Amino acid sequence: MYRALWVFTNPLLFFWCVLRHSAPERVRLRTPTGTVTLHLRNFESLKTAFSVFCRLDYPCESGRPFAYLDVGANVGISAVYFLSRNARSTVHCYEPDVSNLGYLRDNLVPFGARVCIHPRAIGVSAGIVTLYCSEDGKYSSTLASEDSAALQRVECDKFDDVLVALSGAVLPVIVKLDVEGIERDLISQVDFAAHPFVARLLCESTDCGALVRRRHERILRNGYVEDLCFLSTS
């Protein structure tokens, strides 16, 4: 929590909202490249901002740029974190829930051409899938759920095809994967040895690392994020 005192430009507002389980329309955060503004959808968005910027669920260095693939971008909080580490980093965001897209676009406008937003799902195959949408927009998933607030039919790209499309990236690629329960399905279909340009995988899981055959070092961050750093084959 002590990091929140520096990261949030108005930490008293942050702590007050935590106590009330509410969220302001926007918050301002200090980053290595300057102050950024996040437009928040709800209290879940504020919690995510704390998890990413203060608890450091996806810690990334600021000394060098990367090309990020943000799968499950939600309202763009992780994407803003990635882009604010280095002024040359880029990000491709995949987010299928239409109720999140307005916030996602608003949050990423300041980064201009460094951002590409794909309003699509990621799956084991391409096609049209059903998205089971949560009321707060945070836990929407292509897995069937009786608790979903609404259903959407969305376009879906195959995970491996998306990685192939990034093979020409000038910068090393870091993949963040947060797809509410289908992480194992996606990881098991990909041979990361065929994608040597991927430098790192940040996956919201505790057991996907065992499915990755390419040599890597694994760190479990904050109990639920697997950080897999791929090792050189030389």
Each residue of 89-135: pLDDT tens digit?
Answer: 999 999 999 999 999 999 999 999 999 999 999 999 999 999 999 99
Q: Is the pLDDT of residue 234 over 80?
A: no
Structure-token match 């109720």, residue found? 99
Q: How far is CA 120 from CA 8, 104, 110, in A?
A: 31, 13, 22
Q: Is the pLDDT of residue 233 over 80?
A: no
Is 27 in contact with 8 (CB distance < 8 Å)? yes
pLDDT for the residue 146: 82
Is residue 187 very low, low, confident or very high in pLDDT (cuts 50, 70, 90)?
very high
- C-alpha–C-alpha distance, residues 3 and 7, integer Å: 6
At 38, list the tokens: 């996040």
pLDDT for the residue 149: 87
Helix H or strand E segment including 123? strand 121-123
Q: Is the pLDDT of residue 171 over 70?
A: yes
Task: Give the number of other Cβ atoms within 10 Å of residue 225's Cβ.
Answer: 22
Task: Give the number of other Cβ atoms within 10 Å of residue 210's Cβ.
Answer: 11
pTM of the model: 0.96
Task: Report the pLDDT averaged over residues 126-147.
Answer: 93
Each residue of 1-28: pLDDT tens digit?
Answer: 899 999 999 999 999 999 999 999 999 9
HSE-up (13 A, CA, CB side) for residue 154? 24
Q: Is the pLDDT of residue 154 over 70?
A: yes
- C-alpha–C-alpha distance, residues 83 and 33, integer Å: 9
Is residue 145 very low, low, confident or very high in pLDDT (cuts 50, 70, 90)?
confident
Q: How far is CA 168 from CA 67, 171, 197, in A?
A: 11, 9, 9
DSSP 54: I
HSE-up (13 A, CA, CB side) for residue 222? 13
Is residue 198 very low, low, confident or very high in pLDDT (cuts 50, 70, 90)?
very high
- C-alpha–C-alpha distance, residues 162 and 160, integer Å: 5
Task: Report the pLDDT averaged over residues 219-230.
Answer: 98
pLDDT exceeding 90 applies to what percent of the chain?
A: 96
Q: Which fold has domain 59-230?
A: Rossmann fold (3.40.50)
